């Protein structure tokens, strides 16, 4: 049986505008589901179905002006159903100065004086609305506001109400936060009027109702930003024009309404705007979804000819991994120089034997060997943090990843149990895995299980760089170019071959002193490779 749903009694309000249609014909609704959102000069409110059933027809359109009794929709509610459409509970979205009938907390207008005084902004009459909560705090301590500036938005299950400062001044303290429950008279914000603000003072007659003067003072210092609660949501001073259903949806989806582009009447945000916003953020990558400001997309062809070249699969995967590590790990990089003079002399003596063995021997094998020694001495560098960063997962194996530059991008093959290998075997492993990487022949297992990574740019150049940790590892060693430098030996400058080392570490797992000790120890091992045999 079809039930006619009509605009209910709206109290003093004669006519309202339909600003949103919440359902389409054919939709199944429950009694509390909103059919439409209507708006007067002062308030917006949802009109619920009042009965469960299937919507047969919607008889209004966005922009229609309607009055009490106007047919909204017909709902097939089945036999015996009775329609109960309650009048809206909260008058709202209304600055208190425009709503004299809702003036609950009688205002005591402050005297027209320039002397500093403390004023309170309290919750006005909320009608008989139940469970009214703060959904937005739009100011922060120390912020200058004018009388019309929004300070707090509250919401019941039917409507939302914006509460303005009501007076020019400076916010001394915000007493509520997002989620705080409020009733009539709840103290929301304390303002200081008369000093330290850039806001213009208005005559006493313009003081808004929810404001109550509580004390006078002449020497109070302007409040500092560290006092009281911080705003919990939205930028300071932001204004959002959206109905309760839209605000609820935005909260559920974690969307910041101040960033949503409104397409509704008079700049009102409608549900589709929130959905479009979330969809766009999701498709534009994790940064957008995480609320990180996006780099603007620029049409470079405005400035000159351009070509588009897709990233190789390896480069795209690498980019995503590097970005993930960068966002999740607080990186710090410790720089040092290791004296490789003796090592290089020794290495040059090995070259004839290396060519007989068909192996290339570079400093990297020694570096990896030394890293294994240092990792054994400092086990928290050969570790990962668990998901909540409450425990180390210490690894009793030494699988060392090393970055290889290929045509397709960066890959990191892993030398398993590198600590058990001598220099010849390490050299052979480096050569074999690097060749496999460049021929794109690496298998998944060749790239898994690293407990620490070395990235050597030594053959390419550079004096130092800040490598990005290969999460979930906690450290990575960057190696730059070996150079001969004059070093003071206590009596004179002598030429020494110095190797720049750059250790990036996860500062949650490792502190600076530990990193310093690790790199110093590594440098000592490389400076005197006899220690690697101890």
Residues forming the site for ligand CAO (CB under 6 A): 362-364, 402-405, 410, 430, 434, 455-459, 467, 479, 481-482, 499
What whole-number distance in Å separates Cα of residue 503 and Cα of residue 85?
Answer: 68
What whole-number distance in Å separates Cα of residue 337 and Cα of residue 366?
Answer: 15
Largest CA distance in the chain: 106
What SS3 state is found at 313?
helix
**Least distance (Å) between residue 253 CB and ligand CAO:** 36
Tally Cβ neighbours within 10 Å of residue 197.
Answer: 20
Our CB check for ligand CAO shows the closer of 178 and 362 to be 362
323 is catalytic: no
Our CB check for ligand CAO shows the closer of 145 and 482 to be 482
Our CB check for ligand CAO shows the closer of 178 and 333 to be 333
Task: Give the active site residue among 70, 229, 507, 521.
Answer: 507
Tally Cβ neighbours within 10 Å of residue 45.
Answer: 27
Contacts of 342 (CB under 8 A, 6+ apart): 527, 528, 529
Q: Whose CB is nearest to ligand CAO?
A: 458
484 φ, ψ (degrees, to nearest 5): -90, 125
**Least distance (Å) between residue 521 CB and ligand CAO:** 19
b/e map of 283-316 (b: 16 or more CB within 10 Å)?
A: eeeeebeeeeeeeeeeeeeeeeeeeeeeeeebee
Our CB check for ligand CAO shows the closer of 402 and 518 to be 402
Which pair of tokens denotes residue 449? 């299980």
Candidates 324, 326, 330; CA nearest to 507 is 330
Our CB check for ligand CAO shows the closer of 172 and 434 to be 434
Tally Cβ neighbours within 10 Å of residue 162.
Answer: 19
What whole-number distance in Å separates Cα of residue 168 and Cα of residue 245?
Answer: 31
Question: Beta strands of 108-243 (E only): which ranges?
Answer: 117-122, 133-137, 144-145, 150-155, 160-164, 169-174, 187-193, 211-216
What whole-number distance in Å separates Cα of residue 335 and Cα of residue 462?
Answer: 13
Our CB check for ligand CAO shows the closer of 214 and 459 to be 459
**Least distance (Å) between residue 411 CB and ligand CAO:** 9
Task: Kindly list the catalytic residues.
Answer: 507
């Amino acid at each position: 049986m079809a039930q006619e749903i009509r605009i209910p009694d709206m109290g003093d309000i004669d006519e309202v505008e339909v600003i949103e249609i919440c359902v389409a014909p054919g939709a199944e609704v429950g009694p509390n589901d909103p059919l439409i959102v209507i708006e007067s000069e002062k308030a917006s409110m949802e009109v619920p179905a009042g009965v469960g059933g299937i919507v047969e027809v919607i008889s209004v359109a966005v922009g229609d002006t309607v009055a009490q009794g106007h047919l909204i929709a017909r709902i097939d509610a089945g036999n015996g159903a009775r329609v109960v459409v309650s009048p809206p509970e909260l008058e709202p979205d209304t600055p208190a100065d425009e709503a004299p009938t809702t003036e609950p907390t009688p205002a005591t207008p402050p005297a027209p004086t320039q002397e500093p005084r403390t004023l309170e902004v309290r919750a006005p009459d909320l009608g008989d609305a139940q469970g009214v909560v703060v959904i937005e705090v739009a100011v922060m301590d120390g912020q200058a506001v004018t009388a019309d500036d929004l300070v707090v938005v509250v919401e019941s299950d039917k409507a939302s109400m914006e509460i303005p400062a009501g007076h020019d001044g400076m916010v001394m303290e915000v007493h509520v936060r997002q989620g705080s429950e409020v009733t009539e008279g709840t103290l929301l914000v304390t303002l200081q009027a008369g000093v330290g603000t850039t806001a213009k003072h208005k005559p006493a007659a313009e003081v808004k109702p929810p404001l109550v003067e509580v004390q006078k003072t002449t020497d109070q210092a302007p409040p500092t930003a560290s006092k009281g609660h911080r705003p919990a949501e939205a930028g300071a001073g932001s204004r959002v024009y959206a109905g309760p259903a839209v605000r609820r949806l935005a909260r559920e989806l974690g969307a910041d309404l101040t960033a949503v582009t409104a397409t509704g009447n008079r700049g009102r945000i409608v549900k589709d705007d929130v959905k479009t916003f979330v969809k766009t953020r999701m498709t534009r990558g994790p940064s957008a979804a995480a609320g990180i400001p996006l780099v603007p997309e620029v049409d470079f062809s405005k400035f000159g000819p351009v070509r588009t070249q897709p990233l190789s699969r390896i480069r795209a995967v690498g980019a995503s991994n590097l970005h993930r590590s960068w966002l999740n790990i607080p990186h710090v990089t410790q720089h040092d120089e290791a004296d490789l003079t003796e090592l290089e002399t020794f290495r040059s003596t090995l070259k004839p034997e290396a060519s007989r063995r068909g192996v290339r021997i570079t400093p990297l094998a020694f570096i990896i060997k030394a890293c294994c020694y240092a990792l054994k001495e400092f086990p928290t560098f050969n570790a990962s943090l668990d998901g909540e960063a409450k425990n180390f997962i210490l690894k009793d194996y030494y699988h060392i990843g090393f970055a290889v530059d290929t045509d397709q991008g960066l890959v990191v093959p892993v030398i398993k149990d590198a600590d058990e290998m001598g220099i010849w075997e390490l050299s052979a492993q480096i050569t074999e895995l690097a060749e496999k990487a460049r021929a794109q022949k690496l298998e998944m297992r060749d790239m898994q299980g690293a407990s620490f990574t070395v990235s050597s740019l030594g053959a390419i150049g550079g004096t130092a760089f800040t490598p990005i940790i290969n999460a979930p590892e906690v450290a990575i060693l960057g190696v730059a170019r070996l150079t001969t430098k004059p070093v003071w030996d206590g009596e004179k400058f002598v030429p020494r071959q110095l190797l720049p080392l750059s250790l990036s570490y996860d500062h949650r797992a490792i502190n600076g002193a530990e990193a310093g000790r690790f790199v110093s120890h590594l440098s000592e091992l490389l400076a005197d490779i006899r220690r690697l045999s101890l």
